[in-house]
Each structure stands twice: as C-alpha cells, then as structure tokens.
Structure 1
Amino acid sequence: MTDKILARNLSKTYDKFKLGPNNFAIKKGFVTGFIGKNGMGKTTTIKALLSLINYDGEIFIDGKKIEDLSYLQDVGLVMDDSFLGKDWTLDLVNEAMSVGYKNWEASTYYGYLERFGLEMEKKVSDLSRGMKIKLMLAVALSHQAKILILDEPTSGLDPAMRDELVDMILDFMEDPNHTVLFSTHITQDLDRIADYIIFIDQGKIVFEGSKDEFYDKFLLIKGGLDDFEKIKNLKIYGKKKSQYNFEALVSREGYKEDEALVVEVPSIDQIMIYYGRI
C-alpha cells in the first residue's frame, strides 16, 4: 500500500484560527473520507493540497515534493464554491478547460452535460447550487484525473443525485490507480464508499485510519446520572447531560460490560456531534 498524497507538518495560521501542524497520508487506490465539524480546518487543508493558499510544511505526491503546479493536471476538483467564471457559458467552460488541461476530453465533458441535463447556452451564474456541483463534476471527470478531491460536493444535491454521485465515485475507483479524498458532513455517503477516515477537530488531525478502526475506537454510552461514575476511568471524548440522564462518547479501550448502561456503536454523525463536547 502506497501513499498518493503525504503531508508533513502541514500548518496555516490565521488571526483567529490555526491549522496543524498535521501529518497525514491519502492512500493510493482508496477512498478517504475527510470529516470534522464546520470551521475545523477541512477546507483550509484542501486548499493547501491544491496550492490555493500559502502554507508551512511539505506535501508530497507519489513520493515527490510539490514544487510547481504540474501535479494539478492529474487532479479533478469539486468544491462547495465554483472556481469557474460566473459569466462563462458551458461551451466556454469547455474552451477554457481545453487550454488548461493537456488531457482534456471534450466529448466526455459534453456527455456528462447531457447526462446531468445541463444546457450548454447557460452561464455558470444561471445555475443552481446543485447544477454547479454537477458542472464541476463533469469538468473533474473529463481530463483523465487520477486524484479526485471533493469538498462538500453533496451539500447542494437532492438524494437521487447524491446516490448517482456516489455511484460515479465507485466507477472512478474501478481503476486501481485512482484515489479519492472526499470531504463531507453528509456522512451516510462515507458509510457506503469510504475505506479510510481522517478526522479533524480544532485544526488538528485527531484520527487517521481505516473506517473499521474508526468505528472500533468509540462507544456511545447512555445511563442515569448516578451511573456516570462507572465510566469515569474511561477516556471521555464528549458528553451530554440532562436532568436525569447522560450520554457520553468514550474510548472502547478499557470498557467493561455493565447491565445498567446502554452501549451503542456510534455513527460517524454521532462521533462528530459528541467529540469535544466537554
């Protein structure tokens, strides 16, 4: 198993937020889900990977340190906010991309436009948020990209299109040389396709590993307030208390069964909701 993307001591400092320093790897040939609450550093990390911002640290692609922008020829990008010119028609998008990408395939692009029901005479500014996501997906899949980076791509899509997007990612991954980094807060999509999970909180990577390892790391325990003492020796990542009950996200390590407690394997959503809620 090899690393497609490797980040070492990646950091970025703003006035009110600091990312990292973080070390992480995106495995070649797999789908990595990138999760965390809003404002925790997902988009900043992705912008660094794409050289859209200045950053401290090092990023390697296929073992080679990034020193110019040539690697972006192999990257397909779908972001929450369109990077395309607002006044461009979809025909003009084709012309611009054919200049920017050496492996641009106009026939593939127009095939996706037809599949998605996008009208070529429309301007980017005329498209709904969901339609813009579809357009960026068409661009991302039309220049023989080996890496697909998706930053909140499903937020503007209806359930049917979300399902189609997931199917398209699975089709893309039929090539063992393809790699996907999928940042999303709609974690049901990751349940279906992610092989690995990277979890970021307060600008720091707090988990990196397989999806199964991620699920195996946590338990969600519920009980009466008087029962809270029973879990005090466990590592508690977050909790919620009411007048009579508590719910706590804890480490599975060291847990011993107790009939007075309700124990569940938390979903990715629940892990993100409870994590850090101390």
Structure 2
Amino acid sequence: MKSILELNNVRKEYKDFILKDISFTLNRGYIMGFIGPNGAGKSTTIKLIMNLLKKNNGEIKILGLDNIKHENEIKQRIGFVYDENHFYEELTLKQMKNATAGFYVNWSDRLYHKYMINFNLKEDKKIKELSKGMLMKFSLVLALSHDAELIIMDEPTSGLDPVFRSEFLDILMDIIQDENKAILFSTHITTDLEKIADYITFINDGSLIFSKTKDELLDSYGIVKGSKELLNDTLRESLVGIKYNKFGFEALTTETIKLRRSYRDELVIERPTLEDIMLLSIKEDC
C-alpha cells in the first residue's frame, strides 16, 4: 500500500508550545480525520505539511517526495480547502478560475466544468454572492480541477448547515472512489468523520494520542457507567477521564472484555462515539 503523506518525528518549537515528534501515514484511497481540541497543534501540523512553517526536526514526505526539496512539484499535485475565504469577493467565479488556473500545469477545463455542473455552480456569480456552503464547493472545484491527488482540508464543514454538510460529505465520498486520491480532513465536527473517515489521527497539546482506523478505534474503546461505590483503586486503573454525575460515574476504557467479565451486570458498557473518545481521553478525573 503506497503512502501519499508521511510524517516522521516532526517537531516544531515555539516559546509557549511544542509540536512533539508527530508521526503518522496516510495511504492512497483513504480519508483521514485529523482531530484535537483548539490549540492542540492541528493547524501547525497542516502548515508544516504545506511548508508554510519551518520545522525544527523530522521529515515530511508527500507523494514520496520531501516536502521542502520538491515543494513546487508537490504543490502542483495537491489541493487545499480552508475554512476561511481567500478569494477576491468582487470577482465572478469564472474570473477567479482564470486567476487560479495559470498556476497549475495540469489544469483541466474539462474537469473544472464537470465539477461546476456537478456542484450546481454558476460561473457568472460573484464570490460575494455565494453562501459559505457554495464557497466550500467552489474551493473544492479549484482543488480538483488540476487533478490533485492529495486534498488537504482545514475545517471545511465548520459553519455549514446540516443539509450542506451532508451534501459536502457525499461529494468527498464520491471523490475518494478514485483510489489514487486521498483526503486529510481536519475538523472538530467528529460526527462528520464517523460518516466518511477511514482513519482517525488525534493530537492533544502537541502530542500524538493515536492514529488508527476508525473501526479499530471504536471497537477498542468503551464508555463505562456505574455507581460511585464500585470505584475502587483496581477499577480506576482501567478507566480514563472519570466524570461524576448524580447517578454515579462515566469513563472511558480500553479494557471492555476484562470489565464485563469482572463486573457483569454491575457496570454498563456502551460503544463510544469519536467525540466521547476525544473528550474523555484528555479529560482529568472530576
């Protein structure tokens, strides 16, 4: 299986924050959800991948190439979709396309018109006339019209209404049917990733917590609920992020089989969501 994106011990040091030796791999044909709380290091990691920041240590390879030595070649073969609008608002979509197309040697007007029709976008519309959802679609059109192999997305569904988000996710699922492509999808909306992601990479406070397949992740964790009286030292060792409420406690565990055998009906163990795993795995007991 050929990797399209590879980070090996990537480190970035600021005065008040350190991205600590991050390593993960994304293969062709897959969508990777990139998650973590605000300030975790997601945007820093993406900027390092894009060579917008200088790393202190480590190696980043895109399409098998060093992202610094082969920056120009790499950027011809990847696309970007950001949460913020970086377009000229007074231009029409056609004018914006013309301003963009010249940067790419593999630009295809055939692909451009195909996606404009598929996404129901009109060339004579001005950028300022588009909703946020339509802007995201247009960003994706530009990213795909030079046949990008790796699509990097930073919070693309943030602020979109549920209908637009669902439609946008369907578009991504359609794109990834081309097994030569891959998508890195940074978001805080974990429910979107439950629908489309193959892999989940989670960072917190500059450290990699895990990078696993979504199914492996959801299968390996459980939400444990029970009465406070059960919380002895032995049980606590199997729990993470214990949260108390008027009914008892709730926590995360990776030892569901062991706890079911030991406590049987005394504990309720449920399948978690990605949000459960993210929030409880970084939560201090309270």
Compute the TM-score of the two structures, normalised by the length of structure 2. Answer: 0.88
Quick one: percent identity of the two aligned structures? 38
Q: How far apart are residue 42 of structure 1 and its match?
A: 1.4
Deviations, residues 5-30 of structure 1 (Å, cap 9, x unaligned): 11112122334322222111111221
1:32 correspondence with 2:15: no
Pair 1:125–1:44, CA change in 2 (3 A): farther
CA contact (8 A) 2:256 2:269 kept: no
Aligned 1:176-187 pairs, distance under 5 A: 176-187=179-190
Name the amino acid aligned to 1:241. Answer: Y
Aligned to 2:235: 231
Aligned length: 277
Name 1:45's counterpart in structure 2.
Answer: 45
For structure 1, which runs of at least 5 residues remain unmatched after alignment? none
Q: Does 1:266 align with 2:272?
A: yes
| 1:97 corresponds to | 100
2:150 aligns with one of 144, 147, 151: 147
| From 216, 219, 225, the counterpart of 2:219 | 216
Q: What RMSD in Å do the two structures reach over aligned CA positions?
A: 2.1
Instruction: Could you tell me which runs of 5 or more consecutive residues in structure 2 were left unpaired when the two chains were aligned.
Output: none
Measured after TM superposition, the shift of residue 64 of structure 1 is 2.3
For 1:188-207, list aligned pairs within 5 A.
188-207=191-210
Q: The residue matched to 2:133 in structure 1 has which SS?
A: helix
Q: Distance between the aligned counterparts of 1:44 and 1:87, measured in 2? A: 31
Deviations along 1:217-261, whole A, 9 cap, x unmatched? Answer: 311111111112252231x33121124511111222673221111
Is 1:246 the equivalent of 2:252?
Answer: no
State whether structure 2 residue 75 is matched by structure 1 residue 69: no
What are the Cα deviations for residues 78-129 of structure 1, in whole angstroms up to 9, with x where unaligned?
1111333344332221111211111222343344445445443444344333
User: Structure 1 pair 104/54, CA: closer, same or farther in 2 (3 Å)?
Assistant: same
Q: What's the TM-score, normalizing by structure 1?
A: 0.90
CA drift of 1:130 comes to: 2.4
Q: Which residue of 2 aligns with 1:164?
A: 167
- Structure 1 counterpart of 2:270, which letter? E
- The letter for the 1-side match of 2:236 is K
Q: Is 1:60 the counterpart of 2:61 in the alignment?
A: yes
Deviations 1:174-200 (A, max 9, x none): 222111111222222222222111111
Report the residue type matching 1:143 in the other structure. Answer: H
Distance (whole Å) between structure 1 residues aligned to residue 207 and residue 112 of structure 2: 37
Deviation at residue 164 of structure 1 after TM alignment: 2.0
Aligned-pair CA distance for 1:55:
2.0
The one-letter amino acid of 2:184's match is: L
